[in-house]
Amino acid sequence: MKKIIIIALLAIGLVPVHVQAMEIIITGEVPLTTNPSPYIIKFIEEIKSRTNGAVTGKYYPASQLYNDRDALAALGTGAVHMVFPVVSRLELFDKRIGVLSLPFGLTEEQMTNKCFANGLAKEISDYLAPRGIQILGFLRTAELLFVMRDKDIQRVDDLRGLKIRVVGGRVMLDAMRAVQANPISMAASEMGVALAQGAIDGALTSPAGWVDVLGISARYGSLFPGMALAISPVVVDKSWFEGLEENYRTLISEVLDSLIDQQWRETVAKDKELIEQMVAQGANYRVVASTEVEKLRTVFQQASAKYVSDNADAVFALKQLNKMCLGN
């Protein structure tokens, strides 16, 4: 009982920590001002505050240390402890994780349900355990939209022939090819130069990516509601995390849980503000008509049929989790 009380007091910063300081090395691809970077900074500040400086963090945004792919590969070496990657990067380790990138798949209702989100983290962690990777939760990136230099996307057919940056795993690449677009996978930090050089015509990106990376050089934004809810898994080196003192593991998990709740609430409103900011600068934004959304849904589901068949166990597990937690 005494040990439990001490751990609890330590967690709220009422007991000084008399251990050597520990630094958590964290990487990500998005710029410092782009979601979820501000919340990663908040995580570092909260951990430092609640441990009286015994645990600190160093964050390398915009691929300053590693891009997501290299950072994930570096887990286990001691060079990186936590990564906040685009979720599709995890498909490199296990193709079943592509279930998280299925178009018209995940919803806000699911991801803000603790039962579903915690169950999903466990399921994906089980897939990644042989790689020494664990998932502690999921941050919200954004509901993605098409942002184009000079093409107003009003219909599915308007995507035909366009060079579009996507957050690429195979699932989304195949879906985009099904509408005869030319998908190109690249990091968010590379989009601006690629657009300026004509390597892409536009991007499937977040409102923050539109504001912070592409700017008014991309004049048109089009949202197909429900098409792509992008999430950022909180990925940790499993051996490193399990090797921490129990009070540190508990504290990291508690701070993340609180931060994730806050982040999902705030970023929905923030995305609306960012879109309004672009419109105020002269950009055009539209929500595509429901008939075209359903047309895109049908095409994307057909394009994903082989993946769904090949990974039926992962798809079934997701459906069962949804049924258990949300009753549908």
pLDDT, tens digit, 9 for 90 and up, residues 114-156: 999 999 999 999 999 999 999 999 999 999 999 999 999 999 9
Helix axes 246-280, 37-50, angle to 10 degrees: 150
- In which element (H, E) is residue 202 found? strand 202-205
Say how far apart CA 34 and CA 229 lie, in whole Å. 16
Q: What is the CATH number of domain 145-228+272-326?
A: 3.40.190.170
Residue 165 has pLDDT above 80, yes or no: yes
> Domain residue spans in the chain?
2-141+231-270, 145-228+272-326
pLDDT band at 35 (very low <50, low <70, confident <90, very high): confident
pLDDT band at 53 (very low <50, low <70, confident <90, very high): very high
pLDDT band at 2 (very low <50, low <70, confident <90, very high): very low
Average pLDDT of the chain is 92
Tens of pLDDT, residue by residue over 78-126, are 999 999 998 888 998 999 999 999 999 999 999 999 999 999 999 999 9
Is residue 59 a contact partner of residue 37, using CB atoms and an 8 Å limit? Answer: yes
What would the DSSP string read from start to end of 5-37?
HHHHHHHTT-S---S--EEEEEE-SS-TTSTTH
| pLDDT for residue 168 | 66
User: Which CATH fold topology does 2-141+231-270 show?
Assistant: D-Maltodextrin-Binding Protein; domain 2 (3.40.190)
Strands 229-237 vs 133-143: parallel, antiparallel or unpaired = antiparallel
> Span 261-274, mean pLDDT?
94
Strand, coil or helix: what is 277? helix
Tokens of 254: 């508690």
Q: Please, what sign has the CA dihedral across residues 90, 91, 97, 98?
A: positive
Residue 226 has pLDDT above 70, yes or no: yes
CATH topology agreement for domains 2-141+231-270 and 145-228+272-326:
yes
Tokens of 127: 């897939």
